[in-house]
A and B are shown apart, each in its own frame.
Chain A
Amino acid sequence: MPSRIKKFFLSFSFRAGAVFFIALCTTLVGLRIQTYYRSLYISYADVRARIDAHASDIDQGISRYGAKYAEYLVHAILQDTSDKRLYLLFKDGKSLTGNLSAWPPEVDPKATWQDTFIAQPGGAPPLHLLVRITTYKHRRYVLLTGYNLERVDMLRNALLRVTISNVLLSLFMSFLISIIVVWMINRYLQGINRVAGRVMGGQLQTRVPVSGTGDQFDKLSANINSMLDWIVTLLGTVRDSTNAIAHDMRTPLSRHRLELRALADDATLPEKTREKIAAAMMRVDGIVEMFDDILSIARAESRSGAEMFAPFDIAETVSDVIEFYAALIEEKPLSLVSDLPAWPVKITGDKQLITQAIVNLLDNAVKYTQQKGHISVSLKELDGRIAITVADDGPGIPEQFLDKAKERFFRVDESRNTPGTGLGLSLANAVAGLHHGTLVLEDNHPGLRATLTLANEAVE
């Protein structure tokens, strides 16, 4: 499980989505927050401007008409109580006038601007004030002007609520848009993937739809389509040329064989000669067989054989092959144990090629394992794959040749005196590839263990 989660976080979809989400989110949320601070700043600046206006009125009054005027002015201003404005005018440390009885301890007389809370008598909630301290006439007069920030606070609260809901909305929208964009890209890619899957599954005519908008996605689709056209042409060439090779090789070889047959049957020739001719004839058969195998391998490797795919019971095929070899196994003698499911195991594939691959594996086990050796054959189904294992306790293949053994014509030196062409494992390997599987050769301590795995995705 953790690896799946890790894979999800590493996936392109997740990373693209995350980048898109972060970009969109930063922009939208940043904009909201900026609006919030701007609005707050404006209303704050407004309060300051008002305080400044009053303070300069009083300042002018003092300088023009004397300190007494300021007292009146403060008095007059204080008649309007709606704002809960606070004024206090001090002269030489003594209170002159104002709606405060004493200097509030929360206010620092030395600072100019202060944003502070002042306790109210009688348990009322403290007042939130913006306070300005102004001094006149060489600090003889000190004016405290406090402006109630209640409205600003209300505005801030309202703004905060709006901003939070806007931020949440932005987050949600960014998330939604990111998912939609990623989904659109994924859908496009899935379309391409589906087409690729169908083509690999043998439906060679499938193409990616082209919308005609001429954008980059469209160009990609068009390019993929022309690549597919090219592959189809190449496959056609492989098919045609293997057909041509088959025909052009078989006809003369067949003619050759007919002539050998006529000689082998010619009673006027000495027996010895006729035997040699018959042997030469068998070698012609060997060459034809080798050609068949090479062509089968070429076609399986080029994946141009999917038109022969059909569903069949592979458990039956394996048991048929075992039965086919039973007589030889008894004769040698060897012992064979098989572990096959008792029920049918359906697979969609090329039955002839798969049968041939299994025959090749069992043929090797029977051929290379010494008398009284043991062979085991098993068929296992594991999540959509079918694994057929043929193991023996014969000489096996040296570690360094395990991979090479799957190459065409490769034979271990010790095997050179046993009949064979070295194509058996190559064919099994190509057949595995054709069915999206693998052929794995391992040391069986002692002996060889060959596992042919075939994908079984087409089964319903």
Chain B
Amino acid sequence: MKLLVIEDDESHAQFILTGLREAGHTADRAKDGMDGLFLATEEKYDVMIVDRMVPKLDGLAIIQALRASGNKTPVLILSSLAKVEERIKGLKAGGDDYLTKPFEFGELLARIEALVRRGNSEQSEQTTLTLDDLEMNLLTREVKRAGTAIDLQNKEFRLLEFLLRRPDQVVTRTMLLEGVWDFHFSPNTNLIDAQMSKLRQKVDKDFKKQLIHTVRGAGYKISAKQD
């Protein structure tokens, strides 16, 4: 895919660009807000990565200008402003996701991919989620694997639902914390791993085919494909 990176800090920009290229994407870079807005309106991008504090034109102003002119390109805001208020401001201005510095590249990549997929498949109101022989009924809150019922706790259910809504996508621990628990601070993230291993016990333990996979250095992924 094709991305636009609006970032004034040289080392951040280089790191992101290299990473994106290694992951097989192409990316343009703008050094300031004016350039960024110009590129964003001239070219067609799949995703934009926007730093909030860039010279000449503030990151949020760029997003607001784009949204006002009907540009719907998904935007990931990358910022060193970490407060929840700032995050809300960013999303209100038209950003689709918010990531704070410092970050792991895996986190950035996972979020970009999630944004693109979200844009492609405008989620219809589903009542069941299925993957291979795993089946989740959102109305009755029943979960079955190969016809056998699996008994899940409240958050385990939400965790599995979160994964099933993003099949074959990398889901990071922070994404899980925010999406499943609504925790916007960083508690002991090992706890996510503990939760996940409990969920795996219930979903995968008695079956040959493993559905929940650990992605090294990034997070987790639910997938029917075996690697």
Chain A residues in contact with chain B, CB under 8 A?
A: 243, 246-247, 250-251, 253-255, 257-259, 261-262, 284-285, 288-289, 292, 295-296, 307-308, 320, 323-328, 330-331, 351-352, 355-356, 359, 363
Contacts and interface: CB of A to CB of B under 8 A. Distances in A.
A284 B102 contact: yes
A246 B82 contact: yes
B15 A352 contact: no
B195 A327 contact: yes
Contacts of A289: 186
Contacts of B139: none
A330 B195 CA distance: 11
A324 B181 contact: yes
A320 B183 CA distance: 10
14 contacts: A243-B81, A246-B81, A250-B102, A251-B80, A254-B103, A284-B102, A285-B102, A295-B83, A308-B84, A320-B155, A352-B183, A355-B182, A355-B185, A359-B187
B80 A250 contact: yes
B79 to A, nearest CB: 8
Closest 5 CB pairs of A and B: A327-B194, A254-B102, A250-B80, A254-B101, A257-B102
Given A254-B103, A288-B102, 18 more contacts: A247-B81, A255-B9, A255-B12, A258-B12, A289-B186, A292-B186, A295-B83, A308-B85, A320-B155, A323-B153, A323-B154, A324-B181, A327-B191, A327-B195, A352-B184, A352-B185, A355-B182, A363-B187
Contacts of B11: 255, 258-259
A133 to B, nearest CB: 102
B168 to A, nearest CB: 24
A94 B51 CA distance: 132
Contacts of A259: 11
Contact of B100 (A243, A250, A355, A359): A250
Which among B9, B153, B155, B187 has the highest number of chain A CB atoms within 10 Å?
B187
Contacts of B15: 258, 261-262
B120 to A, nearest CB: 30
Contacts of B153: 323, 326
Contacts of B80: 246-247, 250-251, 254
Contacts of A247: 53, 80-81
Contacts of B195: 324, 327
Contacts of A255: 9, 11-12
A246 B83 contact: yes
B187 to A, nearest CB: 5
Interface in B10-32: 11-12, 15
Give the residue among B82, B105, B155 with the most A Cβ atoms within 10 A.
Answer: B82
Interface residues of B, number: 35
Contact of B105 (A261, A327, A363): A261
Interface in B184-208: 184-188, 190-191, 194-195, 197-198
A458 B146 CA distance: 50
B151 interface: no
A250 B81 CA distance: 8
Interface in B146-183: 153-155, 181-183
A352 B85 CA distance: 11
Contacts of B191: 324-325, 327-328
Contacts of A292: 82, 185-186
A285 B107 CA distance: 14
B160 to A, nearest CB: 14
Contacts of A307: 85
A35 B134 CA distance: 103
B84 A352 contact: yes
B12 A363 contact: no
B190 to A, nearest CB: 8
Interface string B71-104: 0000000001111111000000000000011111
Contact of B188 (A296, A323, A355, A363): A363
Nearest to B217: A265
A246 B100 CA distance: 11
Nearest to A250: B80
B215 to A, nearest CB: 15
A261 B104 contact: yes
B196 to A, nearest CB: 9
A319 to B, nearest CB: 8
Nearest to B80: A250
A330 B12 CA distance: 41
Nearest to A325: B191
Question: Considering residues B80, B84, B197, which has the most beta carbons from chain A within 10 angstroms of its beta carbon?
Answer: B80
Nearest to B193: A327
Nearest to B78: A254
Most chain B beta-carbon neighbours within 10 Å: one of A253, A258, A262: A258
Contacts of A355: 182-183, 185
B101 A327 contact: no
Interface string B90-132: 0000000000111111000000000000000000000000000
A441 to B, nearest CB: 21
Nearest to A260: B102
Contacts of A356: 185, 187
A221 to B, nearest CB: 32
A262 B11 CA distance: 11
Contact of B198 (A254, A284, A327): A327
A9 to B, nearest CB: 47
B99 to A, nearest CB: 11
A324 B194 CA distance: 9
A325 B189 CA distance: 11
A285 B102 CA distance: 8
A259 B190 CA distance: 24
A440 B186 CA distance: 24
Interface string B48-85: 00000100000000000000000000000000111111
